[in-house]
Structure formats: C-alpha cells, structure tokens
Structure 1
Amino acid sequence: MEQFLNKKYKLDRTENFEAMMKEMGFNSVMIKIAKTFTTVVQLTKKGDLYSLNSTIMLFSTSQKFKLGEGKNVTTSDGRKVVNIFEIEGNKLIEKQIGEKTLIIEREYYEDQMIARAGFENGEVCTSWCKVVPS
C-alpha cells in the first residue's frame, strides 16, 4: 500500500451513483448538486496514523484512523456509525457500521483508484479515479 500513499486521485466517472445516493436518503435536489462535484482523494500516513483526505469543490474533509480501530463518527449524510479501516493488499476497506452498514472498498493501482461502495444487500456504486500528475 505504501506505493499509493501521497498520490492524488481525481474522480473521472461513476456508475450507479444516483441509486446509491437515493439509498443513503439524499433527495433529488441534493443528488443533482452532488453530481456536479469534482472530488480529489489522497491517502497519507504518519507513523501508524493514516489520513484519508477528500477535496470536493471548495471544501475538504479528512478522516484520521489507525487500522483495525473503531471510531465513532457522524457521516456526511448524518448517519452515526463506528468506522473501521483495514488494508488487504492494494485495497483500503472502510466499514461504516451502524443501523445500515456501508462498505467502501478502494482498490489502488499505479494509474487509478477504483472505489466500490454499497450497503449490505443494496446498490453498489463504482467510481473510477485517475492519478493527478504531480
């Protein structure tokens, strides 16, 4: 996973984004706005503390975590969950465990990152992100 740290990945395209947003409880206006956003994601590490940084238009978010440790968080859509991150090979797997469990699997490659997000037994949204040249 070390070779993918500090690289920036910019959203290129998505599949099933709207269906996933509906399942998360977003209304049609919020979905329309979200579809216009450009996202850049970067994974960094300092010691054993990782940071998953996302820049969406004019604001940024950062999730700081240690692998395997649960952390109580409120997601951007208002769900209260226990967030746990694991690494399996070139995959960063995030589990947001709550009333409904959301699993986000980010698979890193030299030139792209593919993210698959879905609730158990629900829609799966796939996003393809390209490396931003430094």
Structure 2
Amino acid sequence: MPAGICGTWDIISNVNFEGYMIALGISPYLRKIALKLKLKKVIEQHGDLYVVKTVSAFRNYTISFRVGQEFEEFTQGLDNRHVKSLVTWEGNKLICEQIGEKRNRGWAHWVEDDKLHLELYCEGEICKQVFKKNVAE
C-alpha cells in the first residue's frame, strides 16, 4: 500500500453522491439522510489484510480484504446486495471491482496532494469524494 493512505480521513467534497445512490437503487428517504452525513474513512493495514471503514453518525460500513483475492461482500446498510469483489493495485490506486446485479460497479481510492480521493461508480454514475487527513492522528 503506498505510504500515506492509512489513517483517518474527514470528507471535504462529495460530488454526485445522489446520482450514485440512485444508480444503486437506494430509496429517496435514505438518500436524503445520506446526503447530510459527514463521512469519515478509516484505512488500516494489518499484514496483508486491509480494513476500510466508512463511519458516520447514521451508519457505519467496514470492508476487509486481501489485495488480489476475490471475496464475497454483502453491502449491508448500503444497498444490501451480495457481490463478488476483487481489490487490486493499479499504479497508486486501490481499485475494487464488484460483480453482481448492478453493472460497472466498484470504487477506487488513492492519495494525491495530501488528500484521499475516492471514486464510487455504478452503471455509468460516478461519485467523487475527497477527504483530508484528520489532524488528531
């Protein structure tokens, strides 16, 4: 994992989150709540196991994986779907492909200019989020 990606990150920008959630089929009620949340990412590495936590006042989501090993993922609390996920490195980007009932679904994390970038994509919709490192670290 490139240096600097681990840590706690606070969201500073969230573009097209609603479009992404519509593509996932998330209800208008939950989209309204999600759009108001201040998200936090916590990225940890334990040997070859990576843990990425999305934390908010409403709901948390944690994913654990080993790079290059396909795994079953249940997106509980997000869109509640079962997908086969595979995370790989492409240059300095951590890329996840999620195979399931939604087409072209996945995400990419990378650090650029001391900011954590996250692109979430599903069925042609792309959400771009930017996080800054939590100064309490």
Query: TM-score, normalization: structure 2?
Result: 0.87
Instruction: Note the residue ranges of structure 2 that are not aligned, 5 or more in a row.
Output: none
1:116 Cα deviation (Å)? 1.1
Q: Take 1:23 and 1:73, find their aligned partners in 2: how far apart are those partners?
A: 18
Q: Take 1:99 and 1:26, find their aligned partners in 2: how far apart are those partners?
A: 14
Aligned to 1:103: 106
Identity %: 27
Aligned to 2:4: 4
Secondary structure of 1:51 counterpart: strand
Aligned to 1:118: 121
Give the count of matched residue pairs: 133
1:59 Cα deviation (Å)? 4.5
Amino acid at match of 2:28: S
* Structure 1 segment 31-110 matched on structure 2, within 5 A: 31-57=31-57, 59-75=59-75, 76-100=78-102, 101-109=104-112
Contact 1:18 1:31 (8 Å CA) reproduced: yes
Q: Take 1:61 and 1:96, find their aligned partners in 2: how far apart are those partners?
A: 16
Q: Take 1:58 and 1:99, find their aligned partners in 2: how far apart are those partners?
A: 26
Amino acid at match of 1:104: W
Q: Mark the CA change 1:29 to 1:117 in structure 2 (over 3 Å): closer, same or farther.
A: same
CA-atom RMSD, angstroms?
1.7
Secondary structure of 1:57 counterpart: coil
Secondary structure of 2:31 counterpart: helix
Q: Take 2:79 and 2:94, find their aligned partners in 1: how far apart are those partners?
A: 21
